[in-house]
């Protein structure tokens, strides 16, 4: 069982305390996220939208806000060994919670396409041969073997080895650009924003832009469930806290602004412009920096997309495919999506992601704040299929999506759509909670928990799949005598079914 979970990553189970990882392993695995080229690009984009000064103010506020939310996300995941889907069950119900892995999975497939496209653009621009579609295929096939590893086996090693290449590489790109072009730079790409009068203040535009990356909070939980409780403070401050966001958002954002400013050539910032800037200044070294950075971020994107999509499908069918098979399937989808020119709809994709995911995170954070000491219920038979949180998510995201479609009629409301959705989700969830709404069914006898003293160290065999898991996740279905693990509770796999050859 342990061996199977080394590749399956406890996707549909509680992570036992014996499987928790050291500080450096969790930090190493997660640190790959810092090298998303998307963050370098957002920095430049923020300055284009709001001017350099407002962009920096916005970035600092984003780092503060994300560090606080990151700290809450870590706490619940570490304490209970639960991923984002299992943590959201007490709000959305055991079927309604399927929206969490669906949104996270799709969002990360989008980012995998974005980051993969960046590598293809870099390779084409350096070698100056072949159609971009050939480079897309090379990138997808070439990266595939590196995308198969999980948090327990591979990500940490890969990221610790590649960290200096990413960090010193992008720093060198800025220094060389400054030396080549002159330290004064050419900031014309950002001047239009400074002289325009937008619907909302610049720093707020930047803040809303970064709400498109709220997916990092459920991702945080998917990674933090492997951490040890005694390392909680470290992970809240460093791995998933201010140190992480300081590098991921502020450092990368400033790098993006500086590369465009020192490049001094274009008056329009494009997604590939930042890549071009790095290749122009560092040549082959620049290409290596981009390829290594993108392997780091995409191994994270593929990992989190695969565990989430596997979990999503697990809500509806008894027999899913393995996590590694998901990685191969995602690679195919990524290749097809690359052909659609992902850069052409980036602002729409980000705005939709923002509205759909901030509401999810807002509801989860509100519940946690209202019930800081409550042990989360995640066992299938103790939850309604759909909980009130799901309805709150539908209404608050629906309002945001409608507002996004009305930029001409209601420019201010439309520009603030993710923020309005978030506020609505929080208020509606508080109202539902005060009215007594809950996804948890009425309490009934709890034979496993009542008979086992140490829920984390005692393993109980599942009568359906005949594997043993920590007592914490085991339960007896309403009218049954048999004990089931979490995965079998969800798939309703019964004893007869378990007897089928596997
Ligand atoms: O998880 C993330 C977030 C932003 N960009 C990525 O590539 N991945």
Structural element, H or E, at residue 459? strand 459-461
Distance 193 CA to ligand 1 centre (A): 26
Note whether 393 and 363 are within 8 A (CB): yes
Task: Show the domain range for 471.
Answer: 447-499
Angle at alpha carbon of residue 240, lines to 16 and 349, rounded to 5°: 105
Q: Which of 41, 66, 84, 213 to mutate to test the pocket of ligand 1 (most atoms within 8 A of CB)?
A: 213
Model pLDDT, residue 363: 97
Collapsing DSSP to helix, strand or coil, 282 comes out as: helix
Model pLDDT, residue 173: 86
Rounded distance between C-alpha atoms, residue 165 and residue 225, angstroms = 28
318-347 as b/e: b if 16+ CB within 10 A? eebeebbebbeebbebbbebbeeebbeebe
Rounded distance between C-alpha atoms, residue 197 and residue 96, angstroms = 42
**Does ligand 1 have an atom closer than 6 angstroms to the CB of 221?**
no
**Does ligand 1 have an atom closer than 6 angstroms to the CB of 490?**
no
- Nearest residue by C-alpha to atom 7 in ligand 1: 111
Rounded distance between C-alpha atoms, residue 390 and residue 317, angstroms = 21
Task: Give a yes or no: residue 439 inside a domain.
Answer: no
Task: Give a yes or no: residue 442 inside a domain.
Answer: no
Distance 58 CA to ligand 1 centre (A): 19
Model pLDDT, residue 496: 42
Question: Do residues 116 and 233 share a domain?
Answer: yes
Question: Do residues 236 and 351 share a domain?
Answer: yes
With CA atoms as reference, report the closest residue to 148 among 292, 26, 326. 326
Question: Do residues 22 and 160 share a domain?
Answer: yes
With CA atoms as reference, report the closest residue to 366 among 9, 37, 91. 91
502 residues of the chain, pLDDT tens digit each: 556 666 677 888 999 999 999 999 999 999 999 999 889 989 988 998 898 999 999 999 999 999 999 998 999 999 999 999 999 999 999 999 999 999 999 999 999 999 999 999 999 999 999 999 999 999 999 999 888 877 777 788 888 889 999 999 989 988 888 887 777 666 776 776 666 667 789 999 999 999 999 999 999 999 999 999 999 999 999 999 999 999 999 999 999 998 888 776 555 667 777 888 888 888 899 999 999 999 999 999 999 999 999 999 988 876 778 888 999 999 999 999 999 988 788 778 888 999 999 999 999 999 999 998 889 999 999 999 999 999 999 999 999 999 999 999 999 999 999 999 999 999 999 999 999 999 999 888 899 999 999 999 999 999 998 999 999 999 998 777 799 999 888 765 444 444 333 3
Rounded distance between C-alpha atoms, residue 164 and residue 389, angstroms = 43
Residue 203's contacts (CB-CB under 8 Å, 6 or more residues apart) are 50, 54, 55, 57, 58, 61
With CA atoms as reference, report the closest residue to 291 among 44, 171, 112, 116. 116
Model pLDDT, residue 179: 82
Question: Do residues 155 and 191 share a domain?
Answer: yes
Q: Is the dihedral of CA 44, 46, 48, 51 positive or negative?
A: negative
Question: Do residues 369 and 476 share a domain?
Answer: no
Residue with tokens 């570490």: 78
Model pLDDT, residue 497: 45
Domain boundary among 434, 460, 478: 434
Question: Do residues 131 and 163 share a domain?
Answer: yes
**Number of domains composing the chain:** 2
Model pLDDT, residue 492: 59
**Does ligand 1 have an atom closer than 6 angstroms to the CB of 298?**
no
Residue 374's contacts (CB-CB under 8 Å, 6 or more residues apart) are none
Domain boundary among 383, 411, 434: 434
ipTM: 0.95
Model pLDDT, residue 196: 65
Question: Do residues 44 and 132 share a domain?
Answer: yes
Distance 230 CA to ligand 1 centre (A): 28
Model pLDDT, residue 278: 85
Q: Which of 73, 104, 212, 215 to mutate to test the pocket of ligand 1 (most atoms within 8 A of CB)?
A: 215
With CA atoms as reference, report the closest residue to 439 among 359, 493, 363. 363
- What the block records as the tokens of 467 is 């594997």
**Does ligand 1 have an atom closer than 6 angstroms to the CB of 219?**
yes
- What the block records as the tokens of 314 is 């697990």
Q: Which of 111, 211, 217, 290 to mutate to test the pocket of ligand 1 (most atoms within 8 A of CB)?
A: 111
Collapsing DSSP to helix, strand or coil, 94 comes out as: coil
Question: Do residues 93 and 173 share a domain?
Answer: yes
**Does ligand 1 have an atom closer than 6 angstroms to the CB of 111?**
yes
Domain boundary among 411, 434, 457: 434
Report the first-to-last Cα separation within the chain, whole angstroms: 14
Model pLDDT, residue 142: 92
Ligand 1 atom nearest the C-alpha of 297 is: 7
Question: Do residues 386 and 464 share a domain?
Answer: no
**Does ligand 1 have an atom closer than 6 angstroms to the CB of 213?**
yes
Task: Give a yes or no: residue 249 inside a domain.
Answer: yes
Ligand 1 atom nearest the C-alpha of 111 is: 7
**Does ligand 1 have an atom closer than 6 angstroms to the CB of 297?**
yes
Task: Give a yes or no: residue 67 inside a domain.
Answer: yes
Question: Do residues 366 and 476 share a domain?
Answer: no
Task: Give a yes or no: residue 440 inside a domain.
Answer: no
Task: Give a yes or no: residue 41 inside a domain.
Answer: yes
Which CATH number is 341's domain given?
Answer: 1.10.4160.10
Note whether 209 and 46 are within 8 A (CB): yes
Rounded distance between C-alpha atoms, residue 17 and residue 56, angstroms = 41
Task: Give a yes or no: residue 441 inside a domain.
Answer: no
Structural element, H or E, at residue 203? helix 202-210
Task: Give a yes or no: residue 92 inside a domain.
Answer: yes
Distance 350 CA to ligand 1 centre (A): 11
Question: Do residues 175 and 225 share a domain?
Answer: yes
Model pLDDT, residue 337: 94
Global pTM reads: 0.91
Distance 430 CA to ligand 1 centre (A): 30
Question: Do residues 69 and 207 share a domain?
Answer: yes
């Amino acid at each position: 069982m342990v061996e199977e979970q080394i590749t399956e990553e406890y996707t549909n189970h509680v992570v036992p305390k014996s499987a928790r990882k050291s500080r450096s392993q969790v930090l190493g695995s997660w640190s790959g996220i810092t090298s998303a080229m998307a963050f370098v690009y957002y920095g430049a984009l923020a300055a284009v939208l709001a001017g350099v000064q407002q962009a920096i103010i916005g970035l600092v506020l984003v780092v503060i806000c994300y560090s606080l939310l990151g700290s809450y996300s870590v706490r619940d995941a570490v304490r209970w060994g639960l991923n984002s889907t299992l943590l959201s069950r007490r709000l959305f119900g055991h079927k309604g919670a399927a929206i969490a892995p669906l949104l996270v999975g799709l969002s990360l497939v989008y980012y995998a396409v974005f980051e993969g496209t960046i590598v293809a653009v870099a390779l084409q621009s350096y070698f100056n041969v072949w159609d971009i579609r050939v480079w897309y295929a090379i990138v997808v096939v070439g990266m595939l073997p590196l995308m198969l590893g999980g948090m327990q086996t591979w990500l940490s090693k890969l990221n610790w080895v590649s960290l200096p290449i990413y960090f010193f590489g992008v720093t060198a790109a800025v220094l060389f650009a400054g030396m080549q072009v002159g330290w004064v730079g050419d900031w014309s790409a950002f001047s239009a924003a400074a002289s325009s009068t937008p619907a909302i203040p610049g720093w707020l535009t930047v803040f809303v832009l970064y709400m498109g990356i709220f997916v990092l909070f459920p991702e945080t939980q998917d990674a933090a469930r492997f951490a040890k409780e005694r390392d909680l403070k470290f992970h809240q401050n460093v791995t998933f806290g201010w140190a992480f966001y300081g590098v991921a958002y502020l450092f990368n954002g400033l790098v993006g602004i500086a590369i465009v400013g020192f490049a001094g050539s274009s008056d329009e910032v494009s997604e590939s412009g930042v890549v071009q800037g790095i290749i122009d200044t560092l040549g082959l070294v620049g290409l290596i920096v981009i390829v290594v950075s993108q392997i780091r971020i995409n191994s994270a994107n593929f990992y989190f997309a695969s565990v989430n999509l596997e979990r999503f499908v697990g809500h509806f069918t008894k027999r899913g495919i393995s996590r590694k098979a998901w990685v191969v399937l995602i690679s195919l989808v990524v290749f097809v999506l690359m052909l659609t020119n992902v850069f052409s709809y980036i602002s729409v994709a980000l705005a939709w992601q923002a509205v759909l995911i901030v509401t999810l995170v807002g509801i989860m954070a509100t519940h946690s704040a209202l019930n800081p000491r409550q042990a989360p219920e995640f066992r299938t038979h103790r939850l309604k299929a759909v909980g009130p949180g799901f309805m709150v998510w539908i209404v608050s995201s629906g309002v945001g999506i409608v507002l996004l479609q009305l930029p001409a009629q209601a420019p201010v409301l439309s520009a603030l759509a993710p923020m309005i959705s978030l506020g609505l989700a929080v208020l509606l969830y508080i109202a539902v909670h005060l009215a007594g709404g809950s996804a948890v069914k009425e309490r009934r006898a709890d034979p496993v928990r009542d008979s086992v003293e140490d829920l984390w160290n005692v393993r109980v065999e599942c009568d359906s799949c005949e594997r043993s898991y920590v007592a914490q996740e085991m339960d007896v279905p309403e009218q049954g005598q048999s004990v089931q693990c979490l995965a079998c509770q969800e798939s309703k796999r019964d004893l007869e079914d378990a007897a089928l050859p596997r």
